Amino acid sequence: MLANKKDVRKCLFCGRILHPGRVRRKGKSEEHIIPKWLMDHLEIRRLPVSPMRVHVGTRRILDVRDHYLETLTAGAVCGASNNGWMSGLEDAAKPILIRLIADPNQLTALTEQERIALSRWTFKTLAALNRSSTYGDPRNKHARSVPDSHLRLLALGRLPEDVIVVGGRSDSQRPLEWLQYAMWFAPKGVVLTETDRDRSYKIGLMLHHLVLAVAYYPSPQYRYFWVNTHHIPLWRGTKTVSLELNELADTSAPKSTSPQIELFLRNIFVVSEAVLESWGKAC
| More confident of the two residues 48 and 86 | 86
H or E element: which one contains 87?
helix 85-102
**Helix then strand then coil, % of the chain, to nearest 5:** 35, 25, 40
Task: Provide the whole-model pTM.
Answer: 0.86
H or E element: which one contains 39?
helix 36-42
For position 173, what pLDDT does the model report?
Answer: 83
Cβ proximity of 166 and 213 under 8 Å: yes
Average pLDDT over residues 207-212: 96
Q: At CA 120, angle to CA 71 and CA 31, rounded to 5?
A: 20
Give the model confidence (pLDDT) of 116-166 as tens digits: 999 999 999 999 989 888 778 888 777 889 999 999 999 999 999 999 999
Buried b (16+ CB within 10 A) or exposed e, 93-110: bbebbebbbeebeebeeb
Give the model confidence (pLDDT) of 238-247 as tens digits: 999 877 666 6
Closest by CA position to 205, among listed 100, 281, 57, 75: 100
Of 77-86, 107-116, 161-170, 203-212, where does mean pLDDT reach its minimum? 77-86
Closest by CA position to 55, among listed 280, 256, 222: 256
Closest by CA position to 160, among listed 216, 83, 230, 78: 216
| More confident of the two residues 23 and 68 | 68
| More confident of the two residues 178 and 73 | 178
Cα–Cα dist 63/138, whole Å = 16
Q: How many CB atoms lie within 10 A of CB 242?
A: 9
Cα–Cα dist 72/47, whole Å = 11
Q: Coil, helix or strand for 50?
A: coil
> What is the Cβ-side half-sphere exposure of residue 50, based on CA atoms within 13 angstroms?
8
In sequence order, which residues have a C-beta less than 8 Å from that of residue 111 and are 6 or more positions away? none
Q: How many CB atoms lie within 10 A of CB 157?
A: 11
Single-letter code of the amino acid located at 71 = T
Cα–Cα dist 189/206, whole Å = 33
